[in-house]
Chains A and B, each alone.
Chain A
Amino acid sequence: MNRYPIWKFVLIGTVFIIGLLYTIPNFFGESPAVQISPAKTSLKVDEGLLQKVESTLQLANIPFDGLFMDASGVKVRFANTDTQLLAKDKLVSNLGKDYTVALNLVPQTPNWLQSIGAKPMYLGLDLRGGVHFLLQVDMKAALDKAAESTVGDFRMSLRKEKINYYGIERQGQVVVIKFESEAEATKARNLLAKDFSDLTYKIAGSDKDFNLTASMSVMAQKRIQEFALKQNLQTLHNRINELGVAEPIVQQQGLDRIVVQLPGVQDTAKAKEILGRTATLEIRMVDEEKSDMATLQKAQAGQVPFGDELFSDREGRPVLVKKSVVLTGDRITDAGPGVNGQNGSSVVNVTLDGRGAGIFKNVTRENVGKRMAILLIEKGSTEVVTAPVINEEIGGGRVQISGMANAQEATDISLLLRAGALAAPMEIIEERTVGPSMGEENIKRGVHSTLWGFAAIAVMMIVYYMVFGGVSVMALGVNLLLLVAILSMLQATLTLPGLAAIALALGMAIDANVLINERIREELRNGNTPQASIHAGYDRAFDTILDSNVTTLIAGLALFMFGTGPIKGFAVVHVLGIMTSMFSAVLVSRALVNLLYGYRRKIEHLRIG
């Protein structure tokens, strides 16, 4: 009665071997490496890049241990950190700005294990060191900005159709257009409702004062927020690529938050500066009709003409700029520093996307002889970088911005522009930094807790339950093995609370074996034969084990659903631990007991203490 069919042994054996294979990579350690990944999405990771990297290293006579390619880029392994640093410098100078070259650690997993996808567990920031930021996207600002650009679009449409209005402005997130007659207002509404269908229009007023209000529908607001978040995510991706961090994480969290994790980064000031930059670029027209000295002086005193805003340029001179935005930084596809061929001054060369190029062409054609202001909005303050006179129509979407103080500034600004603008400002609302020594210490703490606890339990179980205790300990060992294997397979992030959850899972999993062993003892005491006692012990304990594990599972799942950060890390391991413990405590320990006792014809007594 205590014999398992062959297939059960085969199943357990297979699971054990798979578990072993996927656990092994955790013991190989890591070696220094350099990771090369494309800085732009248009560039692909391919054989060409691999060969380029290889030839660069060979030419420079830098020895390397391994060279391979994965989805994120090309990785090169080195024997020590000296060659790693040397290689990084060489690669940076050879590959140029199209590629990011970052220092990294690569697991020394043997190739045959890598080929079956076996990797060591993915360690969280508290175990490997690094910075974690949680950024809050200012959605109100995103909506305001969207409304502001609607104002510009409306103006253009109304002018094109020659509809008369005497005022247009943004009130909060609602655009209000003022008309003298209801007929005009209705005409405008019909036109705008056709072109901008996701807005809700309403006409109100009397006599010679009719207001057409356009407000965003809930759907449109949602779309704008989603877009703003996506745009910010993309921008952060680009900016972090410029930082050169290996394996950064940029993820959406909830509806309006972004998590950024930079493993291995110690210079938090630099990281914060780059993330926190809210620089956006706007191109607007200078209001030439009102740029006489008298108006400017009045404006400086606080009387800014309607529809204009007052800013200063780099020399501190006041410039009156129209409120309506011609182009925003979103339309920029590339930017790089350069030198003006005529006077040798530093410039930034900007390339616009198709729609941006079209708008730019129209605006420059209509405004030859006028000035165009390029505004840089950073941390709430706006500066006119330059306000060149438009000499001719500029087509093709290639624009040169002059007015840079020096080459360094041209580089900085082009980096900022290339990395893209944020659709909405963001604020860091959570920061966690863990130094590398702290990370190592945390690993040590977690591992020591688990191992010492395991050892103590093993001794106690064997002393108390003898052979059956030994079986329980082996089952617990298999549990640990499987848990580590599954965590390695899933590449779930392991944190210090996660390590604690491993320890706790073992401490709780032993319950099942205690239940079984106690039950067997009881059956023996009731005068049953050893074989019958084993059978009844496992059988009867099973219901209890199932019930108690389900209740624990419920708690684990709730933790997983509502937890963030450390709690989630704990919950994942907790839940997985419950599942592996069901397998090991019931199936594995039974298989071992069956092997030990199931095939004996006669048992004098069970060694169960």
Chain B
Amino acid sequence: MELFRIKKDIPFMSYGRLTTSISLITFVLAILFLLHRGLNYGVDFTGGTVMEVHYPAAANIEQIRQVMDGVGLKDVTVQNFGSSQDVLIRLPVKKELSIAQLSEKISSALKAADAGAEIRRVESVGSQVGEELYENGALALLLVCAGIMGYLALRFEWRFAVAAIIANMHDVIIILGFFAFFQWEFNLTVLAAILAVLGYSVNESVVVFDRVRENFKKMRKASAVHVIDNAITRTMSRTIITHMMTQTMVCSMLFFGGETLHNFSLALTIGILFGIYSSVLVACPIAMWLGVSRANLIGDSEKKPKEDEAAVAP
């Protein structure tokens, strides 16, 4: 079976202005949502307590709220999740109660109200832990960007490095925009997913760039636009198949992974979809505008006969 047998090169670069404009608009929208609504941070970041309670029969949410009120805990959110028997209780950090006391207080109150209540998971995080996470998260993001840019600049050229990082930061911002728009919970595993996406979608750009470099060697007379169009067209099939495979795995996590992996897989899904788009239709035009050419990519090809040999080998 072969789904993508493309005879002629698709003139992707001639749509460059259009595609980058679309990107720019989504990007600006994402930033607006981020500024306006902000992220719905999970307890990992904000501090607070989350409890997952399982009841033998359908849980009475109203009664649980009353129980919480009864022990003097006011701003508590109680909601069903998964099934009618499972309840999620959230509450913010309390100044007057330590973490240890808080969870003890809730669980004893719940058990007193209904002996069948089974506390399946408790997560209590102090506010000082959350603050560090911001810092570490931002540091990790910076380090990834710097590392990837450095590597690409070494292996290819600074123009590619800049184009790839812009394209991928654009993906990250858009994922965050989605999380802000839908107010999905942003927790540590989502952060992990975002950093993984960053590495993954750079892959995408690397594959195309690799082809661009190879084309510059082979298609000696062609223009940069032509070379890039050809590179994208030739790698199109691989791009789609690979992403389909990865997305299949991510879907499997979305369906079977339960609550913990749900937002993780959502972040990955958005990252994968926009990753295809941005690495092809954002990174390449930017690289082109930055002036990628045969000269600055393999200008010193005479000094590297080995690479040239590989290019003409059968």
Of all chain B residues, the one with the shortest Cβ separation from A553 is B199
Q: Is B203 within 8 A of A551, CB to CB?
A: yes
Number of A-B residue pairs having CB atoms within 8 Å of each other in the complex? 238
B62 at the interface (CB under 8 A from A): no
A355 at the interface (CB under 8 A from B): no
What B residues does A446 contact at CB under 8 A? 257, 261
Tell me whether A555 and B189 are in contact in the complex, defined as CB-CB below 8 angstroms, given that A430-B124, A435-B120, A445-B261 are known contacts: no
Of all chain B residues, the one with the shortest Cβ separation from A506 is B249
Q: Is A552 within 8 A of B252, CB to CB?
A: no
Tell me whether A431 and B203 are in contact in the complex, defined as CB-CB below 8 angstroms, given that A514-B238, A536-B314 are known contacts: no
What B residues does A504 contact at CB under 8 A? 196, 246, 249-250, 253, 268
Count how many chain B residues have C-beta atoms less than 8 Å from C-beta atoms of the other chain: 78
Task: Map CB proximity to B onto A213-242 as digits: 1 under 8 Å, 0 otherwise.
Answer: 000000000000000000000000000000
Q: Is A511 within 8 A of B104, CB to CB?
A: no
Q: Is B246 within 8 A of A551, CB to CB?
A: no
In the assembled complex, the CB of B254 is this many whole angstroms from the nearest CB of chain A, namely 9
A461 at the interface (CB under 8 A from B): yes
Q: Is B104 within 8 A of A497, CB to CB?
A: no
B21 at the interface (CB under 8 A from A): no
In the assembled complex, the CB of A204 is this many whole angstroms from the nearest CB of chain B, namely 37
Q: Is A551 within 8 A of B206, CB to CB?
A: yes
B123 interface neighbour in A432, A435, A461, Cβ under 8 Å: A432
Of all chain A residues, the one with the shortest Cβ separation from B139 is A562
A167 at the interface (CB under 8 A from B): no
Of all chain B residues, the one with the shortest Cβ separation from A257 is B129
In the assembled complex, the CB of A254 is this many whole angstroms from the nearest CB of chain B, namely 9
Q: Is B143 within 8 A of A558, CB to CB?
A: yes
CA distance A503 to B155 in the complex (A): 29
Q: Is B256 within 8 A of A518, CB to CB?
A: no
Query: A residues near B, CB below 8 A?
Result: 126, 134, 136, 268-269, 272, 276, 427-435, 437-438, 441-442, 445-446, 448-450, 452-454, 456-457, 460-461, 463-464, 496-497, 500, 503-504, 506-508, 510-511, 514-515, 518, 521-522, 528, 532, 536, 539-540, 543-544, 547-548, 550-559, 561-567, 570-571, 574, 609
A-B contact pairs, 15 of them (CB 8 A): A136-B126, A268-B122, A437-B118, A438-B52, A452-B256, A453-B251, A453-B252, A500-B261, A507-B250, A508-B203, A522-B234, A540-B310, A555-B144, A555-B199, A570-B196
Other CB < 8 Å A-B pairs besides A457-B249, A507-B245, 8 of them?
A: A433-B122, A435-B120, A437-B118, A460-B248, A514-B241, A536-B313, A547-B155, A567-B188
Query: B residues near A, CB below 8 A?
Result: 1-3, 52, 54, 98-100, 103-104, 107, 118-126, 128-129, 133, 136-137, 139-141, 143-144, 147-148, 151-152, 155, 188-189, 191-192, 195-196, 198-200, 202-203, 206-207, 210-211, 214, 234-235, 237-238, 241-242, 244-253, 255-258, 260-261, 264, 268, 310, 313-314
